[in-house]
Structure 1
Amino acid sequence: MKADIHPEYKDITVIMTDGSEFTTRSTYSGGDTIRLDIDPKSHPAWTGVQRLVDTGGQVAKFNKRFAGFGIK
């Protein structure tokens, strides 16, 4: 293996949507913690419950753009 080409691993804390957290090792360089918006405890694919998460107003923007588009 070539020397000095592999990223550095460090311990990071992952914070789930319900506030629980765990520590893992990663090459993530954005800080010491990652706060998740969607995780297996809240994602509809795993829970079977649909929940609307509007980050950044994307749903409102879509509704505004296509408000007049439909059956009259």
Structure 2
Amino acid sequence: MRMDSSISNTVGAAVALQQYNADQSAQMSLLRQSLDTQAGQVAQLMEAVGDGPKLASVGSIGTQLNTYA
């Protein structure tokens, strides 16, 4: 009888691990989709901004540090 409960416990643990792995896989897929969506949105924003304002090329102001935000 001891063997039967040991086998049953092992099978139960295996089934629980399969369910856990399936849940983790679904969550990872959702995370990937969210990150891909965010990456696309950031790419669109970066395209819209373009190069931004041009830096000064002569003089002592605006030629060493870009403080544009």
* Fold match (TM-score > 0.5): no
Higher CA-based Rg: 2
Higher helix proportion: 2
- Structure showing the higher strand proportion among its residues: 1
Output the TM-score relative to the length of structure 1. Answer: 0.26
